[in-house]
Amino acid sequence: MKIDIITLFPEMFDSPLSHSMMKRAIEKDLLEVNMVNFRRFGSGKHQHVDDTPYGGGAGMLLKPEPIFQSIEEINQRSPMTNKRIILMDPAGKPFDQSMAEEFSQEEHLVFICGHYEGYDERIRSLVTDEVSLGDYVLTGGELASMVMMDAAVRLIPGVLGNEVSAETDSHSSGLLEHPHYTRPAEYKGMAVPEVLMNGNHKLIEEWRHMESLKRTFERRPDMLEKRKLTDQEKAWIKQWQEKD
């Protein structure tokens, strides 16, 4: 996968790209990341990339030309790739795991990181997606794009050591992940559930499924509204409801 990041702060990406999964993806040639500092396309001696809004009001807006020129440069450098051009925007569609899965299957992602008060509206004509990291406002799009990139890159086949672990992650199956335990079997009076130590894989799978559902039922009931529950799942939920 290729990723281009259009940003005023390319150095912010140095650390995330040189550690853990992103580093591994780059070393395995599964990922190529390129920075486009759009300051290069700014105007005048001070390479301005922002200007005041027509109609007045507080704050500065990103001018269209530097972003259009950044996309042109990426198109010239990679003319043949299918590109998903993603605008970082708190007013965009909320990012989630299914979006991370979609992004992980793309050939070429381009993230546009905003700054200041926002974008000249014409910049939106360039993009395929407008995406928000969540219902809060960050100073710029850099941190948001790092999170999205990380969530997508770890799903590229071959990046994670054990691919099964991505499939059972919270949100991948529509449920939160079940609890985990490692040695010691007892710690400060807290014991590992017996079922995990008896080697019966069918029972372990059933316990994990039930605990996963229970955690989702308790913490994120909204997630269950989208799920087609099995008869077994309905029976477990009925038990927990009757207990309350």
The answer to whether 90 is a known catalytic residue is: yes
Residue 137 marked in a binding site: yes
List the beta bridge partners of residue 43. Answer: 48
What six digits make up the tokens of 17?
């790209």
Buried b (16+ CB within 10 A) or exposed e, 57-73: eeeebbbbbbbbbbbeb
Please indicate if the annotation marks 138 as binding a ligand: yes
Does the footprint of ligand SAM cover residue 140 (CB under 6 A)?
yes
Dump strand ranges (E) for the chain: 2-7, 32-37, 50-51, 61-62, 83-94, 108-112, 118-119, 129-132, 186-187, 190-191
Pick the binder of ligand SAM from 139, 198, 232, 239 (CB under 6 A).
139
Catalytic position from the list 16, 89, 90, 106:
90
Is 117 designated active site?
A: yes
Close Cβ partners of 71 (under 8 Å, ≥ 6 residues apart): 6, 85, 110, 126
What φ, ψ does residue 19 adopt, rounded to 5°?
-140, 155
Residue 169 bears catalytic tag: yes
- The CB-nearest residue to ligand SAM is 114
Rounded CA-CA distance 124/71 in Å is 12
Site for ligand SAM in 108-127 (CB under 6 A): 113-115, 117-118
Is 154 noted as a catalytic residue in this protein?
Answer: yes
Question: Parallel, antiparallel, or unpaired for β 83-94 and 108-112?
Answer: parallel
> Is 160 assigned to a binding site?
no
Give dist(CA 201, CA 221) in Å, integer: 28
135 is in an annotated binding site: yes
Cβ distance to ligand SAM smaller for residue 95 or 217: 95
137 binds ligand SAM (CB under 6 A): yes
Q: Is 147 annotated as a binding residue?
A: no
Identify the residue among 141, 159, 178, 217 touching ligand SAM (CB under 6 A): 141
Nearer to ligand SAM, 42 or 90 (CB): 90
Question: Near ligand SAM by CB under 6 A, which window of 39-47, 86-94, 184-192, 196-204?
Answer: 86-94
Catalytically annotated residue among 4, 84, 106, 154: 154
CA distance 66 to 42: 6
Please report whether residue 66 would count as binding ligand SAM according to CB under 6 A: no
36 is in an annotated binding site: no
Q: Which residues bind ligand SAM (CB under 6 A)?
A: 88-91, 113-115, 117-118, 132-134, 136-141, 144
| Catalytically active residues, by annotation | 90, 117, 154, 169
User: Residues marked as binding for S-adenosyl-L-methionine?
Assistant: 114, 133-138
